A and B are shown apart, each in its own frame.
Chain A
Amino acid sequence: MKIPYYPGCTLKTTAKPFEDTTKAVSEVLGIELLEMPRWNCCGTVYSLASDDLMHQLAPIRNLIRVQDMGYDRVTTLCSMCYNTLEQANQLVKGDPEKLEKMNSFMDQEKDYTGGVTVVHYLTLLKEMGFDSLPVKNPLKGLTVVPYYGCLLLRPEEISIDNPERPTIMAELLAALGATVVDHPYKLECCGSYHTVDYKEVVCEKTYHILSSARKRGAEAVVLSCPLCEFNLDFRQKDLEQELAPMPILYFSQLLAVSLGLFDALGFDQHYVDPEPLLKEKGLLR
């Protein structure tokens, strides 16, 4: 399968292991990720003001690029990119007047016709069937909790799963052989961009999310958002007195481990190194 791929800024910097492991996995699964030649920032947060079209231009311009490539779907990894691209997409699909205004503003581009769908990589895997994954190194003995956060699931219109009771990541992790436990903080916002201006809020959220996961017996937390990863991982630095270290992993890193792909895990980019845990379980070579 060939599909255009929108990386976004953070997948090229602090979340490089997320991209690298996904690329390695995709190669094995026969998913040819066609990185868009001229992608631009999606805006990171969807603009919620009814009079603001200016901030919708960036996401829509990316969708025009997908259209130019001759495809009607694009996949992405970052929860924030997914959310912003698809919310903007649904806005213009449902409002021809706004779409026309934006098209005439971007007169150097071809008009966007509203024919592109943004598909999160987890959805792509689900379509292929989690049970069909060629697992070589099952994650036996590893107990994990999925952490969904906000932007894969809310608002409801763009949700990749049931927005209040999602199972998609749990299904994937179970198919990889891990023991998956549920926990009540799986949907709870980590504090998001307040990591810049209200760090203490993020520390408090991180404490609650991780201690809840630990109480349920989790040895690692699995997620799909580079900002959640930073908050839950790096903010543990300020919680060392209160919390034993909890490894935070992208789902693609565990997927790579389970497929026997150990070359691009990028554990050195984490604050809490997941390697000792995975070695203890005999999952790393």
Chain B
Amino acid sequence: MIPKISKETTLLDKTEELSGEKIFSCHKCGKCSAGCPVGTLMDVRPHQVIELVQANDWSVLESRTIWLCASCFQCATRCPKDVDLTRVMEALRLLVLRENFDHIRISEISKEELRELPPVALVSNFRKCTG
């Protein structure tokens, strides 16, 4: 369950403000989805994320997609319209995380995993997945 988010301003406005991107610049070529390394595992494909934000559809925040994005910048590098979807994904995650929500439970990571995982994996994961 995602937390209740105040919907006084539109999703489009909030996303543009947080990401600094102009969402309607997208001309729907689909390059972001084509190049995404985890695109096939997503419930909402990267280009569809843009469409949902354009339509002010808050359900995008309940998608698995925003958490599967690993900020690899492949979509940002290939976008012919310079829409940085990596930033848009981060903005959407933050809309959820800033309601004091954690996507992962650190206490559920086993001791064995904590011993084995490199610090850089843990710090980056906690930065991206906890509020």
Contacts and interface: CB of A to CB of B under 8 A. Distances in A.
Interface of A: 8-10, 13-15, 41, 43-45, 47-51, 55, 78, 80, 150-151, 153-156, 163-164, 187-189, 191-198, 201, 204-205, 226-227, 230, 234
A223 B94 CA distance: 31
A120 to B, nearest CB: 16
A227 B119 CA distance: 9
A132 B20 CA distance: 45
Contact of B121 (A43, A151, A153, A227): A227
Contact of A197 (B74, B87, B125): B125
A50 B73 CA distance: 16
Nearest to A196: B125
Contact of B120 (A8, A154, A156, A198): A8
A80 B129 CA distance: 17
Query: Chain A at the B interface: mostly helix, strand, loop or mixed?
Result: loop
B37 interface: yes
Contacts of A194: 68, 70, 125
B117 A205 contact: no
Contact of B70 (A8, A43, A192): A192
B38 to A, nearest CB: 6
Interface string B80-115: 000010110011001000000001100001000100
6 contacts: A13-B118, A15-B118, A44-B120, A44-B123, A191-B38, A230-B117
Given A45-B124, A48-B19, A196 B68 contact: no
B127 interface: yes
A50 B72 contact: no
B119 A201 contact: no
**Which of B91, B116, B128 has the most chain A CB atoms inside 10 A of its CB?**
B128
Given A14-B119, A49-B18, A189 B104 contact: no
Contacts of B77: 153-156, 163-164
A117 to B, nearest CB: 20
B72 A226 contact: no
A192 B72 contact: yes
A195 B109 CA distance: 11
A44 B70 CA distance: 13
A84 B70 CA distance: 15
